[in-house]
Amino acid sequence: MNPLDLVVSRLKAAKRVAALTGAGISAASGIPTFRGADGLWKHFRVETLATAEAFENDPTTVWEWYDWRRGLIAAATPNRAHDVLAAWTAKPAFTLITQNVDGLLERSGAERLIRLHGSIWHVRCWERCARGRSDWLDDTVPMPAIPPRCPHCGAIVRPAVTWFGETLDYASFDAAANAAASADVFLTVGTSAIVYPAASLLPLAKRRGAFSVEINLEPSGASDTVDVCLHGKAEEILDRLCERWP
Ligand code: BV8
Ligand code: ZN
């Protein structure tokens, strides 16, 4: 049986399916990935931008990097990979987990989504004051100051994303781990599978008996763990899977 047919047969037989997605699903929308050839990290050093220390040392530069990324994302449109994954969230059996902070799965209509690393469109008070958590960022309004100030306590405001060295939102990771542990089929899609603890979900699913599939442009940290590798563009492979597992 060819690998795609095998994956389709497993999806059709599955009671529960979970998918973990990474930056690769947004590549077709023109959003740079992190570690690919044109990767974001190639031009910027993680230590200088995606850590709390970086923000403490230079909040303006970090804020402006996120502003630059928000501009790219605002100009982008979701692609077929987002649309298929979002459509699958209408299936009670399907759980969608993402490492991405870009919000494109939400824009594709994902009904239920576990965001492991937060959202670039959310901000929170740097001092974590009780009321300083705003669930949206209205960037149509020019920021009075960069970074903006918390309206409740006056402290600076930070992107509500999980930086390196920060723990993930416990409830989100717990929900993702439960979905992985109970999945009959686990898909890892568009991720280099090297960032933890997100990358620990695949081995967890496999240990608990899931049939595991990698959908990625190139071999990754997941390739030696999964049962089947479907290497190619996620937007094309997911489109073909959706034809047979609508
Ligand atoms: C933690 C949000 C506990 C921000 C991100 C030292 C101290 C503390 C922790 C660590 C440490 N050393 C290591 C760690 C653990 C660290 C980690 O895993 N580091 C890695 C680099 C080794 N993890 C953490 O720090 C986590 N927290 O451990 O807390 C703790 C706390 C204190 C002390 C000790 C422990 C927090 C991790 C979260 C970091 N935040 N993002 C932001 O986005 O700005 S991670 C960032 O990487 C993004 O979220 C991204 O999603 C994620 C993973 O990257 P990918 O999505 O996989 O993207 P990538 O470019 O790598 O790969 C894309 C793939 O797609 C490629 O393979 C490419 O081939 C493929 N592709 C391209 N086009 C397509 C395609 N595939 C299909 N179709 C296409 N068209
Ligand atoms: Zn505040």
Each residue's pLDDT, cut to its tens digit, for the chain (246 residues) gives: 899 999 999 999 999 999 999 999 999 999 999 887 777 777 777 767 899 999 999 999 999 999 889 999 999 999 999 999 999 999 999 999 999 999 999 999 998 999 999 999 888 888 878 665 555 555 555 566 788 888 888 888 899 999 999 999 999 999 999 999 999 999 999 999 999 999 999 999 999 999 999 999 999 999 999 999 999 999 999 999 999 999
Question: Contact, 189 vs 164, CB < 8 A?
Answer: no
Q: Is 234 in the pocket of ligand 1 (CB under 6 A)?
A: yes
* SS (HEC) of the chain: CCHHHHHHHHHHHCCCEEEEECHHHHHHHCCCCCCCCCCHHHHCCHHHHCEHHHHHHCHHHHHHHHHHHHHHHHCCCCCHHHHHHHHHCCCCCEEEEECCCCCHHHHCCCCCCEECCEEEEEEEECCCCCCCEECCCCCCCCCCCCCCECCCCCCEEEEEECCECCCCCHHHHHHHHHHHHCCCEEEEECCCCCCCCHHHHHHHHHHCCCEEEEEECCCCCCCCCCCEEEECCHHHHHHHHHHHCC
| Among the bound ligands, the one closest to the CA of 133 | 2
Ion ligand 2 nearby residues (CB, 5 A): 125, 129, 132, 150, 152-153, 155
Distance 42 CA to ligand 1 centre (A): 14
Q: Which atom of ligand 1 is nearest to the CA of 167?
A: 29
Residue owning tokens 């059709």:
12
Structure tokens of 115?
Answer: 């965001």
Distance 124 CA to ligand 2 centre (A): 8
pLDDT at 54: 94
pLDDT at 133: 57
Active-site residues: which are they? 117
What is the spatial distance between Cα 172 and Cα 165, in angstroms, rounded to a whole number?
A: 17
pLDDT at 144: 61
Q: Which atom of ligand 1 is nearest to the CA of 34?
A: 60
pLDDT at 142: 55
What is the spatial distance between Cα 208 and Cα 111, in angstroms, rounded to a whole number?
A: 26
pLDDT at 148: 84
Query: How buried is 47 (Cβ within 10 angstroms: 0-12 exposed, 13-18 middle, 19+ buried)?
Result: exposed
Strand 211-216 relative to strand 185-189, pairing: parallel
pLDDT at 173: 98
Distance 131 CA to ligand 2 centre (A): 6
Phi/psi at 40 (5° precision): -55, -40
Nearest CA to ligand 1 atom 64: 191
pLDDT at 141: 53
Q: What is the pTM of this model?
A: 0.94
Q: Which atom of ligand 1 is nearest to the CA of 21?
A: 56
What is the spatial distance between Cα 103 and Cα 120, in angstroms, rounded to a whole number?
A: 8
Question: Contact, 103 vs 120, CB < 8 A?
Answer: yes
Give the strand order in the sheet containing 133-134: 133-134, 118-125, 157-161
